Structure 1
Amino acid sequence: MKTSATKAVLFVCMGNICRSPSAEGVFRAHAGAAGLDLHIDSAGTHAYHIGEAPDPRSQQFSARRGIDLSQQRARKLIADDFESFDLLLAMDKDNLARMKAACPPQHQHKLKLMMDYANHSDSDIVPDPYYGGTDGFDLVLDYIEDASAGLVRAVQQETSVKKGEA
């Protein structure tokens, strides 16, 4: 659980069964490899799948990359998340707009797109693979891997700046 010194990151998509659990898993692996102690979670803007495990295709494609999503369960974004998390990253602009509409003004600065941290991908969103073919799940993971690497660098830079201020 989050302590006062731990940075907390929440990944958000629509149903919390494809993109955001994949982002949670991938970023958890990247952050762990970088030695970062973070509170990482995911949620959906809709309550379609509360309590369900990630989509089997998301689990399958993530597992091929060494990422286990099997213990995650879908949950809906709640009002407390805006205060509890330092950064809330939407997978696309529609979910970002939903988050902005629900977020109190004092926490709006915490809302961003996941792909704001990407360095090598040409998309500004992580597309929803749910209704498409299996190629979409690999593409989603490619985008998330890129953005996760950039997010790790951003957190490391922020941490080193804060240490320099101490």
Structure 2
Amino acid sequence: MKESSDTNDKYNLISVYGALFFGVPNGGMDTKALAAMVGDKPQRYDLSLLDQEVGYRRRNRQHEEFCRAFDFEDSKIIQFFEMRKTSTVIEDPFTKKWTRAGPKELLVTPASANLGRRWETSEDYIVSIDADHSDMVKFPQPDQDGYIKARYELRKFAEQAIVVIERRHGSINSTVSLP
């Protein structure tokens, strides 16, 4: 959208105030258990891009491209990270089905989940959730840690976004002729 010549794309981009990222493995993740499940299937390549040891060049390039494309310093990307280990997948020897009954691992480390833009390195942008990787975005109860923290950030977004986006639209309206 940043490089598009379409005026609608420009308007849509400047209308985005921010995002909440939940356990995004910016720095990679522990993929050993998933690799065993995927085996030699075509998904193995995609999985390798998430591996903390292998796909770092592509992840770095994607991060740089994202930072250039969404370079609004008046926006916010809130990065949540898991605090609990997740049960890994193992194959049941009797049923030959994969289950989450393997050893618990921290799939996405706090450092991996918290690769924000250059101004998003403080605790204002990096938030822990007392859950594992699978449960950090499941909110069956409104008193859960993740729900409370996500709701708090969204309320701040709602307060701040209107002013920021109106200001951005005022700037683009003065430089772009509307259809």
TM-score (norm 1): 0.38
Highest CA radius of gyration, 1 or 2?
Answer: 2
Larger proportion of helix:
1
